[in-house]
A = this chain, B = another copy of it.
Amino acid sequence: MNPDIIKERQNATFDVEKLTYVLDGGLEKTKRRREIESMVFSDPDFEEEDPNFLSRSERYDQAVRKSAQMILKLREYGIADPEEIYCYKTCVNPDRPGPLDLHLAMFLPTLLNQATQEQMDRFFMPTWNLEIIGTYAQTEMGHGTHLRGLETTATYDPATQEFVLNSPTISSIKWWPGGLGKTSNHAIVLAQLYTQGNCHGLHAFIVPIRDMSTHVPLPGIVVGDIGPKFGFNEVDNGFLKLENVRIPRENMLMKYAKVEPDGTYVKPPSAKLTYGTMVFIRSLIVGESARALSKSCTIAIRYSSVRHQSEIRPGEPEPQILDYQTQQYKLFPLLATAYAFSFVGQYMKETYHRISGDINDGDFSELPELHALSAGLKAFTTWTTNSGIEVCRMSCGGHGYSRSSALPDIYVEFTPTCTYEGENTVMMLQTARHLVKSYRQAKAGQQLSGIVSYLNEAKQHRVQPQPVAARPTVVDINDLASLVEVYKQRAAILVELAAKSIQQEIQNRKSQEDAWNNSSIDLVRASDAHCHYVVVKLFTDKLGEIGDIAIHSVLSTLALLYALHGITTNSGDFLQAGLLNVPQVHQVSVRIKELLSQLRPNAVALVDAFDHHDKKLNSVLGRYDGNVYEHMFEWARRSPLNATEVHESFHKYLKPLRSKL
């Protein structure tokens, strides 16, 4: 164990283990998580070569091998709880997505939700036993978020009682679905349904794409891998071009909408039914943000405690780089953010489960708010995490660029969350739509409930920005409740400003739609402020649940740092709205420096509490024992370019060059 890191741990003022329980949601959960981790990490069947040393094809091969093993073991051990499966999976391919992910997370659940009993009888067991390996093919080369724009067609032919599927244009080729390129032999294809001469919009069809026995693509199917990406090397994201592919009528998923044998279309009873899954996945992504950011902070903070560099006082030994104020200012607000997002992730999971119950009972009343909240928080947390990972990486100096640090991998595996499951700007605008609607309801005298209820108070605010002096200031920058209040007021004012901007545009004879587009910068800003408020509020609320005094104290410091740091980085908003005055903003900067010093002795303990197993971090910089350099050397020597002493290019190009010059 590195002596620096031992000393860091001795300096902690709280019980790390107890904080881990808080993060996991209780002692029992921590215990079970560790059990599962040890199942995987002690299992020789899951040993792997560092993927960074492999070619793309080898990486895919290794991932298929491990995923197949995983399916076997999960059955063997009888692990069936979705959360436990998820935990197991993230250890098998440590936090890398795998080739069977869409089979498990999209194909199977869609079948369960949308198949008729007859379809279940035909498809479920083969799918469960991986004879059918499926994916979910929605996005097309030219079409993403906007579902109505999708071009793939499924035209019903009553003569043969078949659907004929086609990709009518290049832009209609299915593009991006995970596992589509090489792994799957079936796909649930989203296509515009045509029958009796009418288009009935998007519906889902089960389409066999490869021969079940030989795995060769079926006639009319052009399928393949979409090529290398920024990360996701283990996944064969694929393309699918359909050329007059015929499938039986019974392969349309018909639990809700139907096409009868004669071609008559029968409408689904409600459109809200598929809404829930989307909300669920976005809520999960909030938790993913917390995990990616906490891993990055773990690596950067542990490394900063063992790395010595430059000098603060001349003549003295090089200090730990964690002692530089600039380094603390990079990392500690991100550490606070990782904690904030962990608690927001817990909240989203709980809320989803609570509301799911209501939905199953036919009560959809809370769904719009959860939908808006999950959209905005997905965008807010992934954007923050995305840039935060890179701050962590660059805070490690040169070694942050080495794949051995794991930080490049964390970044490339995480960054797609900003785009998939709803592009972030689109997500922010969805939340804004809910906020503006709620604002108008409040203005019309309706009493709002839930998290947007603060918009009820909007009337009290003056719309126009006003000089600081006009607003009496009662904010206490050391009091979290008071800070929650300013964040709330900032959100309320920015929602109002966005709504007024739309109104102004309409007064300038713009259509509703153009007015919306011309106000979208303000709308995104309002959503961002709303989400920021929610995060500060949920972090503060969480403190109320913490009984342990030492843990309560350190978490309060983090929460305060989170809130104050958000104020300095958005100080214009708070000043413009007259919520804080100039001396207060200055005090906030001073206070932040104090908080950095206050957190310094607990920094390593705070990342230890995330309890990321060394095998899961897979980072020489972030090792628990702090023995960085010897392992970096050992890792480098195993690198494939060192397999031979002399690279063949010397004999092929460099030596012959001499005689030519």
Q: Which of B313, B518, B651 contacts A511 (CB 8 A)?
A: B313
A146 with B311: CB separation less than 8 A:
yes
In the bound complex, residues from chain B placing their C-beta under 8 Å from that of A578 are 582
How distant is A130 from chain B, measured CB to nearest CB, in Å?
Answer: 6
Residue A181 at the chain B interface, CB threshold 8 Å: yes
Complex copy number for this chain: 2
How distant is A211 from chain B, measured CB to nearest CB, in Å?
Answer: 9
Contact A149 B326, CB 8 Å, known A228-B52, A640-B57? no
For this complex, 26 residue pairs linking A to B, each with C-beta atoms less than 8 Å apart, are A52-B227, A68-B654, A72-B661, A130-B654, A130-B657, A141-B629, A145-B309, A146-B309, A149-B309, A170-B629, A170-B633, A183-B650, A215-B646, A217-B645, A224-B637, A227-B404, A228-B639, A239-B633, A313-B511, A313-B514, A386-B390, A394-B424, A401-B419, A521-B593, A522-B589, A568-B572
Task: Report Cα–Cα, A660/B651, bound state, in Å.
Answer: 50
Q: Which residue of B lies closest to A63 (CB)?
A: B649
How many residues of chain A have a CB within 8 Å of chain B? Answer: 153
B647 with A182: CB separation less than 8 A:
yes
Task: Report Cα–Cα, A637/B227, bound state, in Å.
Answer: 8
Residue A281 at the chain B interface, CB threshold 8 Å: no
Say which one of A200-208, A289-297, A352-360, A464-472 lies at the interface with B.
A464-472
Q: Assuming A57-B640, A144-B309, A576-B585, what are 7 further A-B pairs, CB within 8 angstroms?
A: A224-B639, A225-B641, A230-B403, A310-B426, A329-B521, A521-B593, A571-B571
Interface of A is mostly: helix
A53 with B228: CB separation less than 8 A:
yes
Residue A648 at the chain B interface, CB threshold 8 Å: yes
Contact A325 B645, CB 8 Å, known A144-B309, A309-B144, A629-B142? no
Task: Report Cα–Cα, A524/B324, bound state, in Å.
Answer: 13
- Interface positions, chain A 404-445, Cβ under 8 Å from B, are 404, 407-408, 411-412, 415-416, 418-420, 423-426, 429
Q: Provide the A384-408 mask, 1 if CB < 8 A to any CB of B, else 0.
A: 0011001001100110111110011
Question: Which 8 pairs of residues, A with B, have the shortest CB-CB distance?
Answer: A571-B572, A227-B639, A230-B408, A225-B641, A64-B649, A146-B310, A572-B572, A465-B582
Residue A502 at the chain B interface, CB threshold 8 Å: no
A586 with B398: CB separation less than 8 A:
no
Task: Report Cα–Cα, A572/B574, bound state, in Å.
Answer: 8
In the bound complex, residues from chain B placing their C-beta under 8 Å from that of A661 are 71-72, 75, 128-130
Residue A216 at the chain B interface, CB threshold 8 Å: yes
Q: Which residue of B lies closest to A142 (CB)?
A: B629
Contact A313 B513, CB 8 Å, known A61-B649, A582-B576? yes
Q: Provide the A118-151 mask, 1 if CB < 8 A to any CB of B, else 0.
A: 0000000000111101000001011111101100
In the bound complex, residues from chain B placing their C-beta under 8 Å from that of A403 are 227-230
How distant is A364 from chain B, measured CB to nearest CB, in Å?
Answer: 24
Q: Which of B232, B418, B469 contacts A467 (CB 8 A)?
A: B469
